[in-house]
C-alpha cells in the first residue's frame, strides 16, 4: 500500500499499544523514506523529561498503584507539552513531523488538527487496526509489557473511535490492518 505523505505538516499515527506504530516508523527510517528527526514519540519525550518511558503499576497494592498512576500522568502531561512545542515549531518551519503516540482520545487528535490549521499545513492520519489477540500476543515479547487489562481498555476505545476518525478533518486518512508492504510516497513540493 502506498501512503502519500505531505511535503510539510503532521502525520498522526493512531492505534493502541503494540499496533506497530513505532515499528512502522523505524522501518521507514531504515528504508530511508523518512528521517529519524522527523519522528517525535511520546515514549521518547517521557524519557527526556523524566528518565522513564513507562511505569508499571500492575500487581501493586492499590495505594501504591494510584501513586504510580498519578506520577505517570504528571510525566505524560509534561512530555506532551514539550512534544507539542516541538511539533508547533516544526510546522512553523514548514517541516514534516510524524507523531508516534496512541491518539485514541478525540481531544488528543483534535489538538493536532488545530495545530495544523493554525500553521496552514496539512495533517494526515495513519490508523493501525490490529486485532486484540495480536496486540496481547505481542505484549508478551516487550521489555515493558503494557498488560492485558490496559490493552483491552485501549482496544475498546479504539473500536469506538475508529468510525469517527475519517470525519475529523484530516487531509487524508489511511486505515491499515497490517504494517508490512507499506511505502511512503513523499510530495516534493508544498502544494
Contact call for residues 168 and 109 (beta carbons, < 8 A): yes
Nearer to ligand GTP, 7 or 80 (CB): 80
Residue from 60, 170, 175 nearest 127 by CA: 175
Nearer to ligand GTP, 57 or 119 (CB): 57
Query: What Å distances lie between residue 65 and 46, 61, 72, 94, 98, CA to CA?
Result: 19, 6, 10, 42, 32
Please tell me whether residue 15 binds ligand GTP under the rule CB under 6 A: yes
Q: From the CB of 130, what's the least distance to ligand GTP, in Å?
A: 8
User: With CB under 6 A, what is the number of residues at the site for ligand GTP?
Assistant: 15
Q: d(Cα 70, Cα 90) in Å, to the nearest integer?
A: 30
Nearer to ligand GTP, 117 or 142 (CB): 142
> Which of these segments, 1-9, 14-22, 58-66, 163-171, binds ligand GTP (CB under 6 A)?
14-22
Q: C-alpha grid cell for residue 21?
A: 506504530
> Which of these segments, 3-11, 29-37, 140-148, 164-172, binds ligand GTP (CB under 6 A)?
140-148
Q: From the CB of 93, what's the least distance to ligand GTP, in Å?
A: 26
Q: How many CB atoms lie within 10 A of CB 176?
A: 19
Nearer to ligand GTP, 19 or 119 (CB): 19
Residue from 33, 35, 26, 29 nearest 2 by CA: 33
Give the one residue of 38, 43, 161, 168 binding ligand GTP; rule: CB under 6 A: 43
Residue from 124, 102, 143 nearest 19 by CA: 102
Residues that bind ligand GTP (CB under 6 A): 15, 17-23, 43, 102, 138, 141-142, 146, 179
Amino acid at each position: 500500500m502506498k501512503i502519500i505523505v505531505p511535503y510539510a505538516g503532521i502525520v498522526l499515527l493512531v492505534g493502541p499499544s503494540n499496533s506497530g506504530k513505532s515499528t512502522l516508523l523505524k522501518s521507514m527510517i531504515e528504508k530511508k523514506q523518512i528521517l529519524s528527526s522527523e519522528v517525535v514519540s511520546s515514549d521518547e519525550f517521557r524519557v527526556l523529561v523524566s528518565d522513564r518511558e513507562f511505569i508499571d503499576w500492575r500487581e501493586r497494592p492499590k495505594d501504591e498503584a494510584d501513586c504510580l498512576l498519578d506520577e505517570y500522568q504528571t510525566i505524560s502531561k509534561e512530555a506532551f507539552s514539550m512534544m507539542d512545542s516541538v511539533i508547533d515549531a516544526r510546522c512553523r518551519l514548514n517541516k514534516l513531523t510524524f507523531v508516534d503516540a496512541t491518539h485514541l482520545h478525540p481531544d488528543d487528535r483534535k489538538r493536532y488538527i488545530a495545530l495544523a490549521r493554525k500553521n496552514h499545513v496539512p495533517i494526515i492520519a495513519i490508523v493501525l487496526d490490529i486485532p486484540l489477540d495480536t496486540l496481547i500476543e505481542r505484549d508478551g515479547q516487550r521489555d515493558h509489557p503494557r498488560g492485558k487489562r490496559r490493552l483491552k481498555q485501549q482496544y475498546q476505545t479504539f473500536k469506538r473511535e475508529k468510525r469517527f476518525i475519517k470525519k475529523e478533518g484530516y487531509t487524508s486518512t489511511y486505515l491499515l490492518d497490517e504494517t508490512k508492504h507499506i511505502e511512503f510516497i513523499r510530495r516534493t513540493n508544498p502544494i
